[in-house]
Amino acid sequence: MNYLITGIAGFVGSSLARAILAKHPDARITGIDNMSFGYRERLADVIDRIEFIEGDLVEIDRLLGRRHFDSIVHCAAIAPLPECQRDSHRALSQNVAICGSIADYALASGSRDIVFFSSGAIYEGTTQFPTREDTSISTSLIYPTTKYIAEQYFEAMCRSHGLNVTAIRLFNLYGPHQDYFRKQPPLIGYLLTSLIRDQPAVLFSSGEQCRDYVYIDDLLELVQLSARQMKDSPTGGRFVAVNAGSGVPVSVNAIIGMLETVSGRQLKIERRPAAQYWDKYSELFDRPITIDRAVIEREVNKHTQAAIEKARDEFGWTAKVDLQDGLAACFQHAQRIISL
């Protein structure tokens, strides 16, 4: 198959390129990234086998011309929540308006099938667990709101223009090439950095809140199953939103215990109030309308659990990788790339 991967220097995009080439050495992959959150090193082992274009998707027509792709996997986005929160306009243009550029490009180039990375974060306000895809959505933070609007847009484009789109509502993803270095890395990246550097981890909760974690290899299988199913479909016009989660919520404290087991080290922990979690982003508070700290508290302590039946019924997919095995693989990789 011939893939376009947006955000290819990101965690998902780079891992997907590697996984496709490992399984299908003849696959053709073109990737675009503007390097706003990506790392070139993530592509080191595949760079000679892909076409990598450094550029912004806002210029997708200029960057690509009218090339046809069997599948467009749209990973690019501003993913960190406080980054979205501090600049609504940027968040909407990167996470929503660029979906317009992607769909227009797909139509102009006859590339009918798109895998779009939505997020389990859109279930922000829910009290229904496990959370099904038909649960009513009521967001208050900007990141999940952008993902939900983008889903609605893609669904409309499927109806009106015959695109096929699978929107993957991804829960907490982890894996070797996750981010360890951004301003506020995701939990497992942060805990591993603290363990390896023997620095205290500052945690903003009791650690008893539970989230649904899914390992990168499992996710990549789902992406490829869905891309293949769309390609084999004789017709367009289908929109499917599907959860990508394990269905098993696990507490932060349990994750810490497993990381200590796989690393053979003890993590030092400092605890602070949940409401201070985004204090690194002072711009969220130094303005006339500030973010309500209760919203931050809610986000830190939120519980997540994906309903997994729809992914199983649509694609025959369930997450398989054992959490402790996945964390061990992350630790092995992190030891190689994190300097002391």
Ligand X SMILES: NC(=O)c1ccc[n+]([C@@H]2O[C@H](COP(=O)([O-])OP(=O)(O)OC[C@H]3O[C@@H](n4cnc5c(N)ncnc54)[C@H](O)[C@@H]3O)[C@@H](O)[C@H]2O)c1
Which residues make Cβ contacts (< 8 Å) with residue 152, sequence separation at least 6? none
Owner of token pair 């649509």: 314
The answer to whether residues 99 and 154 touch, using CB atoms and an 8 Å cutoff, is yes
Say how far apart CA 310 and CA 243 lie, in whole Å: 7
Q: Which residue lies nearest ligand X, judged by its C-beta?
A: 10
Shortest separation between residue 205's beta carbon and ligand X, angstroms: 18
Peptide bond between residue 130 and the one before it cis (omega within 30 degrees of 0): yes
Say how far apart CA 270 and CA 203 lie, in whole Å: 6
Shortest separation between residue 100's beta carbon and ligand X, angstroms: 12
Say how far apart CA 96 and CA 160 lie, in whole Å: 18
CA geometry: angle at 170 spanning 46 and 111, to 5°? 60
Q: Which residues bind ligand X (CB under 6 A)?
A: 7, 9-13, 32-38, 56-57, 75-77, 79, 94, 98, 117, 119, 170, 172-173, 179, 186
Say how far apart CA 182 and CA 189 lie, in whole Å: 10
3-class secondary-structure state, position 135: coil
Shortest separation between residue 200's beta carbon and ligand X, angstroms: 24
Judged by beta carbon, residue 37 or residue 154, the one nearer ligand X is 37
Judged by beta carbon, residue 209 or residue 293, the one nearer ligand X is 209
Judged by beta carbon, residue 29 or residue 170, the one nearer ligand X is 170
The answer to whether residues 248 and 215 touch, using CB atoms and an 8 Å cutoff, is no
Say how far apart CA 112 and CA 109 lie, in whole Å: 8
Judged by beta carbon, residue 184 or residue 265, the one nearer ligand X is 184
Judged by beta carbon, residue 179 or residue 299, the one nearer ligand X is 179
Say how far apart CA 326 and CA 215 lie, in whole Å: 6
Shortest separation between residue 121's beta carbon and ligand X, angstroms: 6
Shortest separation between residue 244's beta carbon and ligand X, angstroms: 8
User: What is the 8-class DSSP label of residue 169?
Assistant: E
Shortest separation between residue 264's beta carbon and ligand X, angstroms: 26
Judged by beta carbon, residue 34 or residue 263, the one nearer ligand X is 34
Shortest separation between residue 146's beta carbon and ligand X, angstroms: 9
Judged by beta carbon, residue 251 or residue 293, the one nearer ligand X is 251
